[in-house]
Amino acid sequence: MQLTASATGRDTRSTRTERTGPRDADGMAVASFVLGLLGLLVLNVFLGPIAIVLAVVALWRGTKRPGRAFLGLGLGIADLVVLVTLMQLDNTVSWSF
């Protein structure tokens, strides 16, 4: 809570939020890529949808790394495709190696 006006006349809270917005979106793009890549190996039923959501939110917020977000989106979709393929081949939801 700010009791006095700032010397420049601007609200410092909005400036701080504007600076962290793209950085948060960049972090989401990287997290989407990492989770999508990891989801190809383990827990694709959980990590695939999380990677998709993070990629979409990062693109919606205007990330500076759209390529990484699109890769995360593609890997998240690939996670779900791998899951459906393995389910169809084994006729079960579980994996057996």
pLDDT in tens, 40-54: 988 888 999 999 999
Residue 9 resides in a domain: no
How many domains, in total, are found in the chain? 1
Q: What is the mean pLDDT of the chain?
A: 81
Mean pLDDT of all residues in 32-45 = 92
Q: How far apart are CA 1 and CA 51, in angstroms?
A: 36
Q: How far apart are CA 2 and CA 53, in angstroms?
A: 35
- Is the predicted pLDDT of residue 3 greater than 90, yes or no? no
Find how far residue 7's CA is from the centre of its chain: 38
Residue 97 resides in a domain: no
Identify the pLDDT of residue 20.
Answer: 61
- Is the predicted pLDDT of residue 7 greater than 80, yes or no? no
Residue 5 resides in a domain: no
For the chain, percent of residues with pLDDT exceeding 70: 71
Mean pLDDT of all residues in 65-93 = 89
Residue 2 resides in a domain: no
Mean pLDDT of all residues in 10-29 = 67
Residue 11 resides in a domain: no
**Residues 63 and 26 sit within 8 Å (Cβ to Cβ):** yes
Mean pLDDT of all residues in 32-37 = 94
